[in-house]
A and B are shown apart, each in its own frame.
Chain A
């Protein structure tokens, strides 16, 4: 992630990564998508959906935003047909208690477009900067998705990946024409619950072979529970504590007298 991308994400609450999935991988993802009998069970249908979770075209950005403790919350496929009425304005974190969301980053919603979108065709829309709005601020009572003030439509070509801060005001516009396929990978922190399907043995085998995939999918006796969950770490990336960047006290434990401070 470049400095400019970090600044953009922190300021606007989203990033657009064009051509994140190259053509050959896009074709492979489409083939696997079309063959999947259940779009809520993708990791069990084809290992491509497992490996996409740490795709080099977007995962380093996700890792930078969430931090070393990144894991997957969910993977879903969406097939938007003509006449679809869209998805109204909402915050993905709206019912999540306990967190001061405007200054926190509990998750990243990653949308992988397999088909193009246009202004009226299943386009994701956001209100830039709304991830910093206080939770008490009500979403305007608009009748139509298109009426939201200051909304921006995130049109996307196939292979484009959108990264949305989980607290941003977001919607999906109605779809007038064409069928739109997309994949949504939601990432959160290791110490948070996941909403993945029960993984079958083939999927578990593919995941268990990789440290990073094991962490992302939360498998393994020491990963599925909370013990030590504050300090898990994926490998192969520059260490990140996530965004917004935070400071840590240099000393962690002081004043025991019988032991040195550390």
Chain B
């Protein structure tokens, strides 16, 4: 799938699945780093835990899709790891991340998008991400139905995933994370991308000196991590 094809799917459905984004050797490296971060209780600060997590921000199988969807002014809003234990009722419920935002006509804008990269298989009974295809085009204020269980949402699609798959999802898409009724933990990297004219959820000073050096060495990374360029307006920053 080309980035353009991915953009077409994203535009139509509000999400796109990127199968096999991480290949076996690389996947193992990321899995091992994730487990170490988890042992250190540092999944919320994952970008400081291993270079591989910085590399994931501009990963060659993923960043081209992010660019095609978000645009050349893409920037990272945050990056973190997430773990859902087996057999836990920790589903998120159906919601829309941008339900509180004003000022933007969301059905025709792309303000924020989330990239989920799965490090373990997510089976049908697992803590699946699910979306209502096309809901990112709903008229603003379209009411969420008053339903009891995840499964009751009409027209939903569950993202059954293999380790190494990724899903890019519009922040205005109706979505949910199901309860984990499987024997497999859900291990995921969640990176949120926005535009360079938006604020991030971190400061550059939050990063270690080593991570800062990784970021400063490259134009695209400086933009992705929101490092200011004094001569360029935040409206006009562009990846190269």
A56-B73 Cα distance, complex, nearest whole Å: 36
Q: B39-68, CB under 8 A of A: which get 1 and which 0? A: 000000000000000000000000000000
Q: Which residue of A lies closest to B203 (CB)?
A: A225
A195 to B197, CA, bound (A): 10
Interface residue A241 (Cβ < 8 Å from any Cβ of B)? yes
What is the 8 Å Cβ interface bit string for chain A, positions 222-249, against chain B (1 contact, 0 not)?
0011110111000000000110101111
| Residues from 132 to 186 in B contacting A, C-beta threshold 8 Å | 139-150, 152-153, 176, 179
A254 to chain B, nearest CB (A): 5
With A230-B101, A255-B147 as contacts: A249 and B142 at CB distance below 8 Å: yes
Q: Is B213 an interface residue (CB 8 A)?
A: no
In the complex with contacts A95-B235, A249-B143, A255-B176, A192-B197 CB distance below 8 A: yes
Does the CB pair B141–A97 fall under 8 Å? no
> Which of A244, A251, A256 makes the CB contact (< 8 A) with B143?
A251
Which chain B residue shows the least CB distance to A243?
B103
- Chain B residues with CB under 8 Å of A100's CB are 104-105, 107-109
**What's the least CB distance linking A227 to chain B, in Å?**
6
Q: Which residues of B contact A226 (CB under 8 A)?
A: 77-78, 198-201
In the complex, are the beta carbons of A249 and B141 less than 8 A apart? yes
Binding site secondary structure of chain A: loop
| B100: Cβ under 8 A from any A Cβ | yes
* A252 touches which of B144, B153, B195, B201 (Cβ 8 Å): B144
Q: Smallest Cβ distance from B96 to chain A, in angstroms?
A: 7
CB distance from B217 to the nearest CB of A (A): 23
Q: Is the CB of A95 within 8 A of B149?
A: no
* A97 contacts B144, C-beta separation under 8 Å: no
Find the residue from B96, B144, B200 having the highest chain A CB count within 10 A: B144
Known: A97-B72, A105-B103. A246 touches B197 (CB 8 A): no
Closest chain A residue to B90, Cβ basis: A258
Residues of B in contact with A, size category: 35 or more
C-alpha spacing A257/B104, complex, angstroms: 32
Chain A nearest Cβ from B177, distance in angstroms: 10
Given A69-B102, A95-B236, A225-B202, are A256 and B197 neighbors across the interface (CB < 8 Å)?
no
Q: B198 is contacted by which of A103, A193, A195, A261 (Cβ under 8 Å)? A: A193
> In whole Å, how far is B113's beta carbon from the nearest beta carbon of chain A?
10
Chain B minimum-CB-distance residue to A230? B100
Is A137's beta carbon under 8 Å from chain B?
no
Query: Is residue A189 within 8 Å, beta carbon to beta carbon, of the partner chain?
Result: yes
Distance of A97 Cα from B233 Cα, bound (Å)? 13
Expressed in whole angstroms, the Cα–Cα distance for A189 and B73 within the complex equals 18
Q: Is B108 a contact partner of A257 (Cβ separation < 8 A)?
A: no
How far is A69 from B199 in the complex, measured between Cα atoms in Å?
13
On whether A106 and B103 interact (CB within 8 A), knowing A193-B198, A251-B146, A255-B147, the answer reads yes
- Measured in the bound complex, the distance between the Cα atoms of B78 and A225 in whole Å is 11
Q: Which 5 A-B pairs have the closest CB atoms?
A: A247-B141, A103-B105, A100-B108, A256-B93, A253-B93
Residues of B near any A CB (own CB < 8 A): 70-73, 77-78, 89, 91-96, 98-105, 107-111, 139-150, 152-153, 176, 179, 195-203, 233-236
A binding-site residues for B, Cβ under 8 Å: 66-67, 69, 93, 95-100, 102-106, 189-193, 195, 224-227, 229-231, 241-242, 244, 246-259, 261
